[in-house]
Structure 1
């Protein structure tokens, strides 16, 4: 392992992709022109083995973002101390430019649920979440970005909207936000509200990273449209259009292409990053950067 990785105070405001084992060899042999990579923290919490051997080599050449999925920040209980300690060691080891987690819960009474479950937007829940985010940021000694969820059910009793909840969270904790545009579109269709209005109300000044992903269309028990945040296909056209709206409000931000299931060959994933990069460059008022095709 290198004594010290190249320091990247911020992830570049360009397109990145989620790093998948099926692409390790292609990335190392072809060194594609990609802005950065993101990994799920829980996939690299072991002490060694092939995942770390590959990640060490890739991290030596590319900026890295670490995205946690298991701390259950929105739950009743504080983040698991052992899990948080492993995350801290991983962050210390790889010096990522960004660290992020979800606005969700997945653990209760010592049991872990393999899902990202929604939370009610109440004052009580906000106070508890702020405690957990403060604890995480203090342990890491850095700002963490919190991701907006994709949701399929709504709570009857809530004190505020999701955007107001996220805004209050940033004000109380100083955390950043990870704006998942696909999650916005999925939730809007599932609940019948307007995605553009949500974007207009979102606290864009706190956005440190953007996610784009594909979703699976379905119908509910009553025949109404239902979208599943599947991460198993290309980004849909309505999400690309919403992304352009976001960029008009934020300017260029680090933007990740998420493709976690039915992962395609590298060239397909790379083409999605090229499309995102073109929109980012357009927003920045520059010529589209030529990205050398790999795969």
Structure 2
């Protein structure tokens, strides 16, 4: 297991000029640089912003200038998409070093990556590919998570995948696999509710049963996103985790069930293609915030009024 004690304090002292922003109970959105003027002009722009780490691995330029401006006023969540934690080969040391540099540079409130693989030798694929859920895979992925956490000095949140195929060689369920990773590494989890719905629909299992077996106590962030409907070669419904539209009603319902059980976990609206104007994206985050607020713990004043 990674030894994380004391790392957060050392990182907090690394850049004392950065303000500390609370993220608990907030809903946020993916940060898109074209929205920056609208965000800065908005009297109530929202809770936090998430960025893909790989978009900021250059040394400077306009992307960093925009992110630095956002970081002044809002919590930031750093989300990696190319670490290939589930891959069979060792982690790319230079990529991990750049990832660490971003963590130290921006001191994000949350840091996450995917339970997937996306590389082969020196090639990076534009996909998050599934992996078999076996004891051998658990051991390999746990080692990768430990390496990331020891390098960045932070607890990593691991995101459940959206899947379109299953491996016959798997010997455990996805939720059992994820619980074992948490047990061995001390990592946290990023629960993507849309991914649960997509995978359950594509593979014919119950999204409710999956969530009932998911270790919600270890979830540090939630993702919501839109998906697209297609047909497979047999004419059956196939859902694609496309991030190109609003959150579906069925996903909203699952999300409210999760929040009712687990409390107001920071929640992000992902929208990564066919990107709308800022007010459209903000409306999705406002809907998530309303659900979070409904399930927020009562304040002392509210408890007194309830007893009166």
Residue equivalent to 1:249: 261
Residue equivalent to 1:293: none
Task: Identify unmatched segments of 5+ residues in structure 1.
Answer: 288-295
Q: CA RMSD in A?
A: 1.3
What secondary structure is seen at the aligned counterpart in 2 of 1:284?
coil
Of 201, 207, 210 in structure 2, the residue corresponding to residue 195 of structure 1 is 207
Query: Compared with structure 1, are the counterparts of its residues 258 and 286 closer, same or farther at alpha carbon in structure 2 (3 Å cutoff)?
Result: farther
Of 206, 212, 228 in structure 1, the residue corresponding to residue 218 of structure 2 is 206
- Separation in 1 of the partners of 2:134 and 2:69? 44
Q: Report the count of equivalent residues.
A: 285
Moved more, 230-239 or 245-254: 245-254
Structure 1 position 31, deviation (Å): 5.0
Of 22, 47, 52 in structure 2, the residue corresponding to residue 40 of structure 1 is 52
Matched, 1:80 2:84: no
- Separation in 1 of the partners of 2:203 and 2:40? 43
What secondary structure is seen at the aligned counterpart in 2 of 1:274?
helix
Task: Identify unmatched segments of 5+ residues in structure 2.
Answer: 1-14, 300-308
Residue equivalent to 1:175: 187
Structure 1 position 134, deviation (Å): 0.1
Structure 1 position 29, deviation (Å): 2.7
Residue equivalent to 2:18: 5
Please give the residue correspondences for 1:29-68 in structure 2 after superposition, counting only pairs within 5 Å.
Answer: 29-68=41-80
Please give the residue correspondences for 1:12-161 in structure 2 after superposition, counting only pairs within 5 Å.
Answer: 12-161=24-173
Matched, 1:217 2:229: yes
Residue equivalent to 1:270: 282
Contact 1:14 1:280 in 2 (8 A): yes
Contact 1:79 1:132 in 2 (8 A): yes
- Separation in 2 of the partners of 1:33 and 1:48? 25
Please give the residue correspondences for 1:220-231 in structure 2 after superposition, counting only pairs within 5 Å.
Answer: 220-231=232-243
Structure 1 position 278, deviation (Å): 0.5
- Separation in 1 of the partners of 2:276 and 2:265? 25
What secondary structure is seen at the aligned counterpart in 2 of 1:60?
helix
Residue equivalent to 1:291: none
- Separation in 2 of the partners of 1:3 and 1:130? 32
Matched, 1:237 2:249: yes
Query: Compared with structure 1, are the counterparts of its residues 79 and 31 closer, same or farther at alpha carbon in structure 2 (3 Å cutoff)?
Result: farther
Contact 2:198 2:239 in 1 (8 A): yes
| 1:184-217 CA-partner distances (Å, limit 9, x unpaired) | 0000000010000000000111000000000001
TM (norm. structure 1) is: 0.94
- Separation in 1 of the partners of 2:56 and 2:45? 24
Contact 1:42 1:69 in 2 (8 A): yes
| 1:9-50 CA-partner distances (Å, limit 9, x unpaired) | x52211000000120111123353311100000001111101
Structure 1 position 69, deviation (Å): 0.2
Contact 2:39 2:45 in 1 (8 A): no
- Separation in 2 of the partners of 1:205 and 1:285? 16
Contact 1:11 1:65 in 2 (8 A): no
- Separation in 2 of the partners of 1:255 and 1:278? 11
